[in-house]
Structures are given as C-alpha cells and as structure tokens.
Structure 1
Amino acid sequence: MSTVTTESAAGPTLVREGGDGAPRPHGPVAPVEGRITPRAHLRHIGALTRRNALQIKQNPEAMVDALLMPVVFTLLFVYVFGGAISGHGNQQDYVNYLVPGLMAMMGLNIAMAVGTGVNDDVKKGVMDRFRSLPIARSSILIAKIVVEIGRMMVATTILLTMGFLLGLEVRTSVLHLAGAVALSLAFGASLMWIFVLLGLSLNTAQAVQGVAMLVLMPLQFGSSIFAPPESMPAWLRTFTEYNPLSNLADAARNLLNGGPVAEAVWMTLGWAAVITLVTAPLAVARFRKRT
C-alpha cells in the first residue's frame, strides 16, 4: 500500500492507495509554505488584514495614539518650542519646517506599536493558532504591517490637518505633497519590520517599549526634524547628517516647500529597502522559531 498527496478545495490531503488502486482519504495535512501560490498568499494577507482591522473596530482605544499624537506634537512644538528652535517669531515658517519633519516622526512612533502588538499576540497564543493554519508565515506579519500603515495614514492626515489650521502652506503642488506622504509611509513600513523583530525577540511588551524608546529618542531628536543641523554642535551635526530620519525629513520638507529633493529621496528609499531586506527575513525566521 502506498501513500500519495492529492489537491482538493480544502487543501492537500494524504490518501492511501489500496490493492485495487483506489485512493482512500487519510486526513488533511497543512501544505508546505513553499507550495502556496502568490494568489493564495494575497488572499491570506487580505483575510488577516480584515481580522486585524476588526480588532481595532472592537477596541477603538487602539487608535488613540494615531488620533492624538499628531495633535499633541504639533501644538507642543509649535507653541512651546517654536520660537526658541526657529530662532525668530515667524510661526508660519516654522510650521512649514516642522510639519514635514513630523511626518517622518509619525512612522517611527506608529512602528513601535507594531512590536508591542506582536509581542502581545505571542503571549496570548494567537500566533500559535496562526502557526497551525495552512498559510504562509510571512502573511501573518505582512497583514500586521498593512493595518499599521493604515493607522499611519490616519495619523498623517490629522497631522496635515493640524498643520493647515496653523498656517502650513504647500508651496509646490498637491502631487509633491502626495509624494511626501508616500515617502513617509514607505519608510515607516520598513521601520515596522525592526519592531516586529523586537516584538518576537523580547519577552514582554514592556521590554519592547523600553528598547524602542532607546532607539526612538536619539533618532528623533538627533535629526533635522525639529531644528536645522547648523544650530547643533559639530559632533551632533555629524550624527544628524547620517541619520535616515534627517533624509526623510529633508525630502518631505523640500517636496512641500521647494528645493532639491533627488538625493534625499533616493537616500530615504535606499534606507527603506536595506532595512526591509535585512529585517523582514529575520522577523519571519524568528516567527517560525518563536511559534
């Protein structure tokens, strides 16, 4: 008697051939991930994305950071630090300097939530249940990223709305504004893979938040998001020039205000590609090991 595998609507199924050659069902088995077609992979991502979105609908508090963070940061830095950081009293000029930089900051802060969410799912056993399903392991993590990109779009929309209320001007065109938003989303998505890897590597959500803050603070404040690098000491200016957030902030700023953008845009896209290519496979491999 031999054993073969056949395909069905429910997925591959082991069957045994009897002496007469007739197949006899012998229970379903999960397919090997490498056999999952791109179409099935996209379908899995869509189903898991819907599941994650429904979770937000059932727990609206999950959107508090995306809704309030842009408002708090914009008001705080414009009215509390704006005069001192900009060096003059022209609020509108500083709004046009700050808001594009905050677009870079939104991605970094939203990305941190991905790590804590993944860690929480692992602790609750949700990832183990996903692991038992005949789906690509990467689709589980990609669905998380897709939903967080949606949250980032909401945060960016609120940020721009606040900016326009405070006097933000788009001195180029709507297409340049859309390009700045798309660039921020692309870079933010790459950062999310770093925090997914942290969420799968550390034991608690508190540990993920602690490590994330150690990463966030130097990158945010050691950049051109809030102040021109020329106002910084030489050693900090060097760090700022190599900080990928500075590239993103400068690219978004020049897209909105006018100025050379090619170098900053390509540097930002290069950083996003490198971060994704390095951390995404590591995150998927860690997910396999962790679950």
Structure 2
Amino acid sequence: MSTMALRNTATLAWRTLVQIKHNPFELFDFSVQPIMFLLLFTYVFGGAIADSPGQYLTYALPGIIVQNMLFATLNTGVGLNTDISKGVFDRLRSLPIARFSPLAGRIVADVIKQAWAIALLLVIGMILGFRIGTGPVEVLVTFVLLLGFAFAVSWMSVLVAMLVSEPEKVQIFGFVLLFPITFASGAFVPVDTMPGWLQAFAKVNPTSIVADAVRGLLTGGPLAGPLTQSLIWAAGFLIVFGPLSVWAFRRRV
C-alpha cells in the first residue's frame, strides 16, 4: 500500500471515529451493551451455574469479551452498507484518494473501537472481582489475538454488506449466524455440561476456541492448543472472506 493510500485510510478512519462526538449512541454497541451483558450474565446466571457470581465471572468474562467482539464486527458491515446506500462512497470516489481507502478506513476505525470495548470489559470485570492470573505480556497478546480475530471475521461482515441492499439485512444475517455460534459454545458454560451431540459442535466452534485461548492468556489455563487453533480459524476467515469481499467491493463500488 502506498504512502498516499495509508494517509487516506488514516484520514477516513479518523472521520469515522470523530462521528462519535456528534452521535455518541454509536458507542452503545462498544460500551453500554457489553457492560449490560457482563452484569446480567454475572449476577443473573452466575449463582445458578457456579458456586457464586464471582467464581462464574472468572469463567465467563473471556467468553463475554469474545461474544461482544464477534457481534461488534457487524458494525463494520452496517456502516459500509449505510455509507454506500447514502451515496457517501460516490462522493469519496470523486476525490483524489485511493479506491480502497474508504473500506480500509472503516475497518481500521472499528478495530480501534473493538480495542476500547475489550479494555472496558476488562476494567469493569476487575472492578467486579475478576483477577488476571498472568502478566502484562499475556494481556498484550490477548488484545492482539482478539483484534486480529475481529479483523479477520469483519471481512465476512464486509462481504454481506456488499451483497445486500440495506443495512438492516446485514444485521439480520449477522444475528442469525452469530447467535447460534456464540451461545452453542463454551463461552458461557463448560462444553462437557452439554448433550453429546452439541459437544461435538461446541468443541470445534471458533467461539469456544478463542474463549479458551483468552482464558489461558488471562487466568493461566491451557493455552497452546486453543491459541494455535484460534490463529488457524482467523487465517481461514481472512483467506476465504478477504478476497471475496474485495471482489464484491469492486463490483459494488
């Protein structure tokens, strides 16, 4: 990517972030909603699933972070589809900027928002009683893993945004796909408590795998297997949906 394209991408990413100042509700999916999920899961289900809400928090917080990360990738697709539908991309194409900078700028901005959401959930979780059992290097790797995985999965959202006509359809598709993936997993409950047929799916579910990797990084549990599998899943999403998204983008814009 040329220096000009990098500057264009940074400028458009900043444009997306600055919009939050004029429309604070854009941060709802990255701030209020994650905290709401964290509180509800900890204090409504914690006592029933574990011996206490605090004990459940240790298990569930990594899963909640992964769930929120996956759902937040929908914002990339919704934002892109909205910009295209409202003619923003048509106006940007009339400017002397790199063709792919609007797409790259949106993705970069949403990755920054993801970092904010991860940090917020960790801070609130620690206030509620979650304790990190590892060190700063593992915490840094956690951020890199989650942001890298979010970047890879966001290309699936981009592809859907390029194929459908309205932002609402991106959300519908995302919820239909993401709800079973996130809840039929080991994000919120141990996989071995599920029926046998569901365990087979949950064990290979990327949500379970990434949640286990985050647990290993933050609390010192098993790490090598889940981390390796998480990287394989991320590479798979990127290899499959990246080229398809670029192809669809070229046809749409």
**For 2:140, which of 178, 186, 189 is the aligned residue?**
178
**For 1:67, which of 20, 24, 31 is the aligned residue?**
31
Counterpart of 1:38 in structure 2 is 2
Q: Quick one: higher RCO (CA 8 Å, sep 6+), 1 or 2?
A: 2
1:52 and 2:16 are equivalent in the alignment: yes
Q: CA offsets per residue over residues 49-90 of structure 1, 9 Å max, x none?
A: 12212222222211122110121011110111112223xx23
| CA distance in structure 2 between the aligned counterparts of 1:168 and 1:106, rounded to whole angstroms | 17
Counterpart of 2:70 in structure 1 is 108
Displacement of 1:259 in angstroms is 2.4
Contact 1:119–1:200 at 8 Å: present in 2 too? yes
List alignment gaps of at least 5 residues for structure 2: none
Q: CA offsets per residue over residues 230-275 of structure 1, 9 Å max, x none?
A: 0000111111111111111000001111122112111111111221
Contact 2:164–2:170 at 8 Å: present in 1 too? yes
Contact 2:42–2:54 at 8 Å: present in 1 too? no
Per the alignment, in what secondary structure is the counterpart of residue 168 of structure 1? coil
1:197 and 2:159 are equivalent in the alignment: yes
Counterpart of 2:49 in structure 1 is 85
Equivalent position amino acid for 1:44 in 2:
N
Q: Which runs of 4+ in 1 moved over 4 A?
A: none
| CA distance in structure 1 between the aligned counterparts of 2:98 and 2:194, rounded to whole angstroms | 47
| CA distance in structure 2 between the aligned counterparts of 1:166 and 1:217, rounded to whole angstroms | 26
Q: Give the number of aligned pairs.
A: 253
The structure with the greater share of residues assigned to helix is 2
**For 1:250, which of 190, 212, 220 is the aligned residue?**
212
The structure with the greater share of residues assigned to strand is 1
Which of 1 and 2 has greater Rg?
1
Contact 1:137–1:284 at 8 Å: present in 2 too? no
Counterpart of 2:100 in structure 1 is 138
List alignment gaps of at least 5 residues for structure 1: 1-36
CA RMSD of aligned residues (A): 1.4
Displacement of 1:126 in angstroms is 0.8
| TM-score, length basis structure 2 | 0.95
Contact 1:122–1:128 at 8 Å: present in 2 too? yes
| TM-score, length basis structure 1 | 0.83
Q: Percent identity?
A: 38
Contact 2:46–2:54 at 8 Å: present in 1 too? no
Counterpart of 2:58 in structure 1 is 96
Equivalent position amino acid for 1:190 in 2:
A
